[in-house]
Amino acid sequence: MMSSLQNEFSIVKAKVDIYLGMGRYDVAEKLLKSFLESHRANANFHNLLGVVYHRQSKFDEAIQEFQRAISHDANFIEASLNLAATFCDLSQYDEAQKVFEKLKTTCNFSNRTPVSFLEKIAIQHVTCGNMYEQCSMDGEAVNEYKQALKLSPKLSSARLALSKLHLKQGKIEEAKRELEEILKYEPSFVDARAWQGIVYYKQGDVAKAKEIWELSEQEFPNSPSLSAFREIYLQ
């Protein structure tokens, strides 16, 4: 049975969601602050206020609220993910990594852990990996993508990013293996097919690359990536 506090939070959250949808961040913020006057130790209210601040790009305030939520509940996965995402927004990737490491230490990931939570953490690793790549920190990016895959082995975005980075580094066989792994469980992933063609092209097997792109185009005729790769590489 839902406790009175849980019920109260559910009602407040529903109102906040409506206000956020209307762009009335000021009203949502005022509502949450009023409840926090009597529920200072409630992690859910602090986390939700952090979300409201984040939506307004008030990142410093958001960080404070997420940290308060975590201080009240060290196993609050959602608040930790929100905190890490905010650090990434501020390009504070080292701080985001610390959050991930602490989360893995304090939370006992097991078969009881909801897959959705693990996937959310994995996606944050991918986000950090993308940022590292933009800073030409390829080694750190590889580590982030691999961390993501440890948590969510079938996260295609992580495996594709890792494959493309391997290709960039001239590691053709590693790139090929990652793409083949994606296509084992997601054969209709068009981008993976497109990059698989590039891998064969880089290996000098132009005929195989052309075959992959043309067969894929027949199955997915409206894919711009497939036609673009074929036109660029086979013109």
pLDDT along the chain (235 residues), means of 10: 69 84 88 85 91 92 95 88 85 82 68 62 83 85 88 90 92 94 91 90 89 86 74 68
Question: Can you tell me the distance from the alpha carbon of 137 to that of 187, in angstroms, rounded to the nearest whole number?
Answer: 31
Output the pTM of the full model: 0.62
Question: What SS3 state is found at 73?
Answer: coil
Distance of CA 212 to CAs 62, 168, 199, Å? 47, 20, 11
In this structure, the chain runs to a length of 235
How much is the pLDDT for 2?
Answer: 46
The pLDDT of residue 33 is 92
